[in-house]
Amino acid sequence: MAIVGATGAVGTRMIKMVEESKLHVKSVKMLASKRSAGTKVKYNGEELTVEETTPDSFDGIDLALFSVGGSVSKKFAPEAVKRGAVVIDNTSAFRMDPDVPLVVPEVNSEALKEHHGIIANPNCSTIQMVMALEPIREKYGLSRVIVTTLQAVSGAGNRATQELLDESRASLDGKEYKPEVLPVKGDKKHYQQAFNVLPQIDVFEEDGYTHEEWKMIHETKKIMCGGDMNSDDIQVTATCSRVPVPVAHSESVYFDVLDKNATVEGIRDAIRNFDGDILQDDPDNQIYPQPINAEGKKDTFVGRIRPDQENKGSFHLWNVSDNLLKGAAWNSVEIAEYLDEMDLLRV
């Protein structure tokens, strides 16, 4: 196995997830950029040296987990496949490629049978939303989804997390701090995230949506509608915001079901019995999902399920998940487990 981006926020968690997985790993090669080469990382108690990623790095590799920039994935993932490796890519580089399966194993593992060497890991916010919605779709059908996200700063990388911490200290101390990363490192302006909500994740498209919102719309359709990113079977729209939380995204999801006889208790039962979901929905005792409790866990937590009193067959829910685990590292390793179980770890 190779882990590409082994020193990053997701890469370090991939290492831990592989350690805890059911995979029978003979050896692991740690790869990263030239700048990070020489760094030491631990795997199962053994100290390994991180190597610079080159095409030849993938000689003899069966499985490569990528968590780097999209341009790096586009450069090296095909090289890994040429050398016989199956690639699970955690960037947006291949998600909308019609020949690349976009997979959340609990939702659409059958799509893995169509892979040609590369499998895409969806966007973190998409993953936890379809995890919450899939048991509902299976039981009652699904026609429309309106989501508002409240996303943790770690989704923008280690520098963004550090910026939040530094800003918070500076603000509490009454000092000025010049932000350089958020909302988008490469955009024209940067704003304070500490004690603030930023309604921008990724760059703006011509239609006024951000690219993050575009991803949520079309990734959801591709995953839940048989690979068709433009399907009309489910209508999806999104507003994505960044909040001053280090880890774990939250989402307010409004949805319409096809079966107008659906009930809150029926939805709760569906979620309660769905692998990977944990129901936390007891308003009388103030039990509901919170980011601080989801950090470090692999599950998707769902609560605040209630009907729209004005529209029969419409409901609200609230879901929370660790964006670096189920939203990234764990979903990637879980895909690898499914590939192994389905005897698909081959090009």
**Of 115, 218, 240, 249, catalytic:** 249
Q: Is 86 annotated as a binding residue?
A: no
Residue type, 91: T
Asked whether residue 94 is assigned to any structural domain, the reply reads: yes
Residues 6+ apart with CB under 8 A from 346: 84, 86
Q: Is residue 158 assigned to a domain? A: yes
Query: Within 91-183, where are the H helices?
Result: 105-108, 124-140, 158-172
Q: Is 169 annotated as a binding residue?
A: no
Distance CA 290, CA 81 (A): 40
Whether residues 250 and 267 fall in one domain: yes
Q: Is 242 annotated as a binding residue?
A: yes
Residues 81, 139 within the same domain: no
In a domain, 214, yes or no: yes
CATH of the domain at 135: 3.30.360.10
Question: Same domain for 255 and 178?
Answer: yes
Tell me what pLDDT residue 51 has.
Answer: 97
Residue at 169 is within a domain: yes
- Judgement on whether residues 90 and 239 belong to the same structural domain of the protein: no
346 in a structural domain: no
Question: Does residue 76 sit in the same domain as residue 11?
Answer: yes
Crossing angle of helices 264-272/124-140, nearest 10°? 120
130 & 101 share domain: no
List the beta bridge partners of residue 300: 277, 321
Are residues 130 and 272 part of one domain?
yes
Co-location of 249 and 294 in the same domain: yes
315 with 333, same domain: the answer is: no
141 is in an annotated binding site: no
Q: Which one is catalytic: 115, 124, 218, 240?
A: 124
- Measured CA to CA, the distance from residue 288 to residue 308 in angstroms comes to 18
pLDDT in tens, the chain (347 residues): 999 999 999 999 999 999 999 999 999 999 999 999 999 999 999 999 999 999 999 999 999 999 998 999 999 999 999 999 999 999 999 999 999 999 999 999 999 999 999 999 999 999 999 999 999 999 999 999 999 999 999 999 999 999 999 999 999 999 999 999 999 999 999 999 999 999 999 999 999 999 999 999 999 999 999 999 999 999 999 999 999 999 999 999 999 999 999 999 999 999 999 999 999 999 999 999 999 999 999 999 999 999 999 999 999 999 999 999 999 999 999 999 999 999 999 76
155 and 111 within one domain: no
Q: Is 124 a catalytic residue?
A: yes
Give the start-end residues of each E strand in the chain.
Answer: 2-4, 29-32, 40-43, 46-49, 51-52, 63-66, 86-89, 118-120, 144-151, 235-242, 249-256, 277-279, 300-307, 314-321
* Same domain for 310 and 164: yes
45 marked as binding residue: no
DSSP element (H, E) containing 341? helix 330-341
Torsion of CA 43, 49, 52, 55, to 10 degrees: -60
68 lies in the same domain as 147: no
d(CA 345, CA 153): 34
Structural domain for 87, as ranges: 2-121+328-341
Can you give the CATH number for the domain in which 11 is found? 3.40.50.720
Is residue 336 annotated as involved in ligand binding?
A: no
Task: Say if residue 276 carries a ligand binding annotation.
Answer: no
Report whether 151 belongs to an annotated binding site. Answer: yes
Domain contains 347: no
By CB atoms closer than 10 A (0-12, 13-18, 19+), residue 65 is buried
Q: Is residue 229 within 8 Å of residue 219, measured between CB atoms?
A: yes
Domain count, the chain: 2
Residues 6+ apart with CB under 8 A from 314: 254, 255, 256, 257, 307, 308
Locate all alpha helices (DSSP H) within 247-329, ordered by sequence.
264-272, 291-294
Residues 221, 237: Cα–Cα separation, whole Å = 11
Maximum pairwise Cα distance, the chain: 60
- Which pLDDT value is given to residue 346? 79
pTM of the model: 0.96
CA distance linking residue 346 with residue 4, whole number of Å: 19
Q: Is residue 265 part of a domain?
A: yes
Asked, for residue 204, whether it belongs to a domain, the answer is yes
